[in-house]
Each structure stands twice: as C-alpha cells, then as structure tokens.
Amino acid sequence: MVSWLQFNRTDGLFQAGVFDTLSVSHDMRGDVSRIHAPISFSSPFAFPPKVFVGLTGWSLKDQHCRLQVYATDIDETGFTIKFETWNPQGIRPSDRNNAQAQWIAFPSKAHGISVGTFEGLHSENFKGTVTFDTAFDRQPKIFTALTNFDWQFGSWNYANSVLLKTYDVGPQSMAWAFEARHYTEEQLPDLKIGGAFLALDI
C-alpha cells in the first residue's frame, strides 16, 4: 500500500524535500558511519517549525544492518539532518551504507497537525500507542515512515518483511505495530525498529 500527501507549496504551511547520503561526496564524509548535513528552508518560518523525517530507501551491506535518521538543531531557517549507521574504518566508498529520507516542515503552532516518533521492541511485541500532543476534533489522517532499525545479529537479508501498521486511530491517540518476520525467529529479540508519524486534520 502507498499513501501520499499533496499540498500547495505556495501557501506557506508546508516545506518539504528529499536528502540522499549519496549527494555527500566521499571527501566530505570524515566519519564513515555518520552524515550530518544542513538543510535550509526555501523561506524562513516565523518560529522554529516541527519537522517530520522518514526513510524512503536505503542500501545496506549484509553484515551492517543499522540505520537511523533524525532532525536536530531546528530553527526558523533550517535544520540538520543526521544519518547514523555502521561502516568499518577503511571501508571502500562504494561499499558504504547509504540511505534516502523525506522531510516535511510545518509551523509549530499550526492547528490540526501532530508529529512524533516511536520505537518497537520484541519484549513489547513491537506494539504500542502514542498520544497526540494536541487532541483533534475528529479522527486525523495518519502518515508514517521508518526512522531506524538495528539488527544486531544476523543479516537484514534474512528478514522476510517489516511492516508498519496503525490502527484504533482516534482524536487523541493511535495504536501502532511492526510486523517483523525473520528467517530465524530466535533472532527477533535483537531487532529494534523505530518510526515516525504525521497526523493531519486540515
């Protein structure tokens, strides 16, 4: 299933973009396991906005199944997008892990919008609930994305699938669940998965 969000870029409410770690030259990647890149908004916000960030694609080597993306240093003019993975020192540039992420920024005081993150653990059956920072007048529309995963034992290629679902969506909260299937079930306890949500009623 695919969902998409369409908005008018000229109304000043949302700003969005895509960042790919491949856009950073190998000479600029001093730390082979981290990329911190500044993102500038096309026009400044009146106040520091909120930023939704989610993975849209990645290329990982079998033995290096760790990846995280998030936004920091958010102000009126931009933010820093951070990718963290695991690459051994001395790895060839062509063998490094890479990823792509979508970001969406909107005014922090905008009515009818809520954003947040969550993490699933095997001990909690990869399930949980989130409470929106402000209650909606009715059930909002939900957009989600993966933000991180860490498979500490084995290979990502052994995973049949990881599916992020939301359910029981109401004006104040929603439930979420990751469905993770693995070639060797006893390795599931080592899996950590994180996601982000964007709830809208506008």
Domain ranges of the chain: 15-200
Select from 3.40.50.720, 1.10.287.3240, 2.60.40.2080, 3.30.980.10 the CATH code of 15-200: 2.60.40.2080
- Give the pLDDT confidence score for residue 73 in this predicted structure: 97
pTM, two decimal places: 0.86
Task: Confirm if 164 and 195 have CB atoms less than 8 A apart.
Answer: yes
What are the two backbone dihedrals, phi and then psi, of residue 197, each rounded to the nearest 5 degrees?
-130, 150
Mark the ranges of the chain whose per-residue pLDDT is less than 50.
153-157
* Model confidence pLDDT, tens digit, residues 36-84: 899 999 999 999 999 999 999 887 765 557 889 999 999 999 999 999 8
Classified as helix, coil or strand, 156 is helix
Positive or negative: CA dihedral 99, 105, 108, 112: negative
Which stretches does DSSP call E strand in the chain? 15-20, 34-40, 50-59, 66-72, 78-85, 98-106, 113-121, 127-131, 141-151, 159-167, 173-182, 191-200
What are the two backbone dihedrals, phi and then psi, of residue 185, each rounded to the nearest 5 degrees?
-60, -30
